[in-house]
C-alpha cells in the first residue's frame, strides 16, 4: 500500500529556484523606498539577516534529510534548499553593495547574529534549531503574503528593488511549509514549536531595530522625528507588519499548517505581473 505523503504543500505549487541576478547598486546608494530613510532602513535591516539566517535554515533542514523517506517531501527539501541558496547569494550581494555605498560595517551589523547562530549550533539540540527555522519561516511567509497582497507596501520604491522583494516573497510563499512538514515528519513537538516562535519573535524585532539604529545613526536632522514618523509608518497600511497579528497567532493552534493561509491566487497574480521567467532545476 502506498504511504500517504508527509508533504502538505499543494500539488500545483512547484518549489523550484529562479536563478535571477539583480542589479541593485545604484538604488542601494540611495533611500530607494520613496526617498524615505526609515522605510529604506527597515527593508535593508531585513536583508542583513538573510545570508546568515537562510544558511542556518538550510543547515537545520538538511540535518534531517536522511530521515525523510517520503519522496515528495525529499523533493521539496531540495527545492527549498535551492531557493534559499539563491536568496542568500542575492542578499549577500545586496548587503555588500549597501554597506560599501552607505559606509555601514557589514561585519558589525552581522556580528550578534553570527555569534548567536554559532552558540545555538553548539548548545541547542538539532530539533530545536529546526523548530526555530519553522518559526522564522512562518514569519517570512506572513511578511511575504503581506507584501504580495498589498502592492502599496512598495509604493514609491524603485522598480528593481520592488522586483527583488516580490521575487523573494513569491518563493517564500512557495516553500513556506517545507521546514514545517520536515519538523512534523521527524516528530518535533508542538510545545517546542510554539516556544521557539516566542523566542524567534523577540530576536527578530531586536535584530531589526538594532540594524535600523546603526543605519540611521548618522541621519542629518532630528532623529526623534525620524523614529516617531517611522514607528507611525510601521503601524500604517503601507507597512508589511500591518495586520500580521492574526496570522502570527494562528501558528499557536494545535492543528495549524502554513497552507491554512492559502495564498496561491495572489502568488500567481504577482508572478504573472513580474514575469520572472521559468523556475528551473539547478
Ligand atoms: Fe528566502
Ligand atoms: Fe524561506
Q: Tell me the per-residue pLDDT of 41-54, one tens digit each, with 9 for 90 and over.
A: 999 999 999 999 99
Mean pLDDT of 72-83: 97
Residue 282 has what pLDDT?
A: 45
Q: How far is the CA of 113 from the centre of ligand 1 (A)?
A: 17
Instruction: Write phi, then psi, for 199 (nearest 5 degrees).
Output: -65, -45
Q: Cα angle vertex 99, ends 98, 104, to 5°?
A: 135
Residue 2 has what pLDDT?
A: 54
Residue 254 has what pLDDT?
A: 93
CA-wise closest residue to 198 among 122, 258, 260, 128 = 128
Q: How far is the CA of 180 from the centre of ligand 2 (A)?
A: 11
Residue 3 has what pLDDT?
A: 61
Side-chain-side CA neighbours of residue 175 (13 Å) = 35
Q: How far is the CA of 223 from the centre of ligand 1 (A)?
A: 31
Burial class (CB in 10 A: 0-12, 13-18, 19+), 141: buried
CA-wise closest residue to 237 among 158, 149, 166 = 149
Percent of the chain with pLDDT over 90: 91
Name the average pLDDT for the chain: 95
Whether residue 281 has pLDDT greater than 70 = no
CA-wise closest residue to 260 among 171, 141, 165 = 141
Q: Which three cell numbers stand for residue 165?
A: 522583494
Q: How far is the CA of 220 from the centre of ligand 2 (A)?
A: 36
Q: pLDDT (tens digit, 9 = 90+) per residue, 11-50?
A: 999 999 999 999 999 999 999 999 999 999 999 999 999 9
In this structure, which ligand is nearest to the CA of 179? Answer: 2
Q: How far is the CA of 101 from the centre of ligand 2 (A)?
A: 27
Residue 229 has what pLDDT?
A: 96
Around Cβ 108, how many Cβ atoms within 10 Å? 10
Q: Which three cell numbers stand for residue 230?
A: 517611522
Q: Of 12-16, 37-41, 119-123, 189-193, where does mean pLDDT reach its minimum?
A: 12-16
The pocket of ion ligand 2, defined by CB under 5 A, consists of 140, 172
Q: How far is the CA of 226 from the centre of ligand 2 (A)?
A: 31
Angstrom distance (rounded) from CA 238 to CA 230: 11
Q: Of 1-5, 70-74, 116-120, 187-191, where does mean pLDDT reach its minimum?
A: 1-5
Residue 275 has what pLDDT?
A: 78
Residue 218 has what pLDDT?
A: 87
Q: How far is the CA of 174 from the centre of ligand 1 (A)?
A: 10
Per-position DSSP letters for 46-90, written without gaps between them:
HHHHHHHHHHHHHHHHHTTGGG---HHHHHHHHHHHHHHHHHHHH
Q: How far is the CA of 176 from the centre of ligand 2 (A)?
A: 6
Residue 221 has what pLDDT?
A: 87
Q: How far is the CA of 52 from the centre of ligand 2 (A)?
A: 12
Mean pLDDT of 152-179: 97
Determine if the pTM surpasses 0.85.
yes
Residue 276 has what pLDDT?
A: 78
Side-chain-side CA neighbours of residue 2 (13 Å) = 6
Q: How far is the CA of 175 from the centre of ligand 1 (A)?
A: 9
Whether residue 278 has pLDDT greater than 70 = no
Whether residue 280 has pLDDT greater than 90 = no
- Cβ distance 281 to 16 under 8 Å? yes
Q: How far is the CA of 225 from the centre of ligand 1 (A)?
A: 33
3-state class (DSSP) for residue 33? strand
Q: Which three cell numbers stand for residue 274?
A: 513580474
Q: Which three cell numbers stand for residue 133?
A: 527555522
Mean pLDDT of 119-125: 97
Whether residue 279 has pLDDT greater than 70 = no
Q: How far is the CA of 217 from the centre of ligand 2 (A)?
A: 30
- Cβ distance 126 to 185 under 8 Å? no
Q: pLDDT (tens digit, 9 = 90+) per residue, 251-260?
A: 999 999 999 9
Amino acid at each position: 500500500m502506498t504511504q500517504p505523503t508527509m508533504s502538505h504543500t499543494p500539488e500545483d505549487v512547484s518549489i523550484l529556484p529562479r536563478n535571477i541576478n539583480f542589479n541593485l547598486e545604484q538604488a542601494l546608494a540611495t533611500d530607494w523606498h520613496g526617498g524615505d530613510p526609515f522605510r529604506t532602513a527597515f527593508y535593508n535591516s531585513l536583508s542583513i539577516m538573510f545570508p546568515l539566517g537562510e544558511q542556518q535554515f538550510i543547515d537545520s533542514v538538511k540535518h534531517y534529510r536522511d530521515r525523510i523517506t517520503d519522496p515528495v517531501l525529499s523533493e521539496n527539501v531540495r527545492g527549498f534548499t535551492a531557493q534559499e541558496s539563491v536568496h542568500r547569494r542575492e542578499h549577500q550581494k545586496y548587503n555588500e553593495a549597501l554597506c560599501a555605498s552607505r559606509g555601514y560595517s557589514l561585519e558589525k551589523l552581522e556580528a550578534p547574529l553570527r555569534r548567536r547562530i554559532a552558540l545555538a549550533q553548539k548548545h541547542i539540540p538539532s530539533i530545536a534549531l529546526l523548530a526555530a527555522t519553522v518559526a522564522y519561516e512562518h514569519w517570512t511567509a506572513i511578511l511575504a503574503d503581506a507584501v504580495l497582497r498589498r502592492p502599496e507596501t512598495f509604493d514609491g520604491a524603485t522598480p528593481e528593488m520592488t522586483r527583488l522583494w516580490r521575487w523573494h516573497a513569491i518563493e517564500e510563499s512557495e516553500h513556506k511549509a517545507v521546514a514545517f512538514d520536515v519538523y512534523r515528519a521527524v516528530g518535533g513537538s508542538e510545545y517546542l514549536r510554539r516556544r521557539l516562535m516566542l523566542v524567534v519573535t523577540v530576536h527578530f524585532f531586536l535584530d531589526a531595530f538594532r540594524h535600523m539604529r546603526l543605519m540611521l545613526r548618522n541621519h542629518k536632522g532630528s532623529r526623534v522625528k525620524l523614529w516617531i514618523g517611522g514607528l507611525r509608518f510601521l503601524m500604517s497600511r503601507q507597512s508589511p507588519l500591518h495586520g500580521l497579528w492574526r496570522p502570527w497567532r494562528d501558528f499557536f493552534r494545535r492543528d495549524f499548517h502554513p497552507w491554512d493561509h492559502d495564498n496561491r491566487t495572489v502568488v500567481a497574480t504577482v508572478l504573472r505581473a513580474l514575469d520572472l521567467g521559468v523556475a528551473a532545476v539547478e
